[in-house]
C-alpha cells in the first residue's frame, strides 16, 4: 500500500497544526461522536445563526486522518450558509465512499481533496468521516433549535 497516497503533505500539515481546534462559545449544539471500532472521539460544537455556520469548534482525540479531517472540515464549512455546507458534506461523503473511483472536486473541497487517497483504505474512511458526521449531527440539532426558536418568537 502506498503510504504517501494516504498521508498527503496537506493531511500531515493539518494534523500537526489543526485549524479551529478547541471548544468555544457560543454554540447551539454540542455532540460527542465515537468510532466504536478504534475508540477515536470528537466533541464538537456548532454555532449557527442567520442560516450561516458561524463557528465550529472541537476537541478531537484520534489519528492523523481523523484530526486532519476535522481541521479541513472547519475550514470548509465555517462562514458558509448551512445549505451550502451540507452540500460540501455530501461531496466529501461521496468522495470517501467512492472506493477511490470518485474524482475530487477541488473547487468544492479545497484541502479536502487530499483525502482522495483515504477512500482507497476502507479501514480509514471512518476516521476521515468522524468529525464530518459529528458536524452534520450537531448542525441538524442546532438548526432544529433555530427553527424552534423562530417558531416560538413568531407564536
Residues binding other proteins (CB under 8 A): 1-3, 6-7, 12, 34, 36-41, 61-67, 121-124, 127
Let me know how long the chain is: 155
* Burial grade of 37 (CB within 10 A; 0-12, 13-18, 19 or more): exposed
What is the distance between the alpha carbons of residues 73 and 107, in angstroms, rounded to a whole number? 14
Would you say 18 or 82 has its CB closer to other proteins? 18
What is the distance between the alpha carbons of residues 137 and 15, in angstroms, rounded to a whole number? 23
State the cell numbers at 120: 482507497
Q: What is the DSSP code string of 94-111?
A: HHHTTTT-SPP-HHHHGG
| Nearest distance in Å: CB 131, other proteins | 15
| Nearest distance in Å: CB 50, other proteins | 33
CB 70 within 8 A of CB 131: yes
Would you say 61 or 83 has its CB closer to other proteins? 61
| Nearest distance in Å: CB 19, other proteins | 18
| Nearest distance in Å: CB 136, other proteins | 15
Would you say 63 or 108 has its CB closer to other proteins? 63
Would you say 6 or 109 has its CB closer to other proteins? 6
Amino acid at each position: 500500500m502506498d503510504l504517501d497516497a494516504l498521508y498527503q503533505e496537506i493531511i500531515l500539515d493539518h494534523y500537526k497544526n489543526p485549524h479551529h481546534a478547541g471548544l468555544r462559545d457560543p454554540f447551539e449544539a454540542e455532540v460527542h461522536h465515537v468510532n466504536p471500532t478504534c475508540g477515536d472521539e470528537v466533541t464538537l460544537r456548532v454555532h449557527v445563526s442567520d442560516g450561516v455556520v458561524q463557528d465550529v469548534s472541537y476537541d478531537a482525540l484520534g489519528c492523523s486522518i481523523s484530526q486532519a479531517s476535522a481541521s479541513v472540515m472547519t475550514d470548509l464549512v465555517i462562514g458558509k450558509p448551512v445549505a451550502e455546507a451540507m452540500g460540501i458534506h455530501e461531496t466529501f461523503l461521496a468522495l470517501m465512499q467512492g472506493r477511490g473511483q470518485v474524482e475530487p472536486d477541488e473547487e468544492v473541497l479545497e484541502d479536502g481533496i487530499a483525502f482522495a487517497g483515504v477512500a482507497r483504505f476502507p479501514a480509514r474512511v471512518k476516521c476521515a468521516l468522524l468529525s464530518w458526521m459529528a458536524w452534520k449531527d450537531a448542525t441538524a440539532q442546532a438548526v432544529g433549535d433555530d427553527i424552534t426558536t423562530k417558531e416560538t418568537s413568531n407564536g
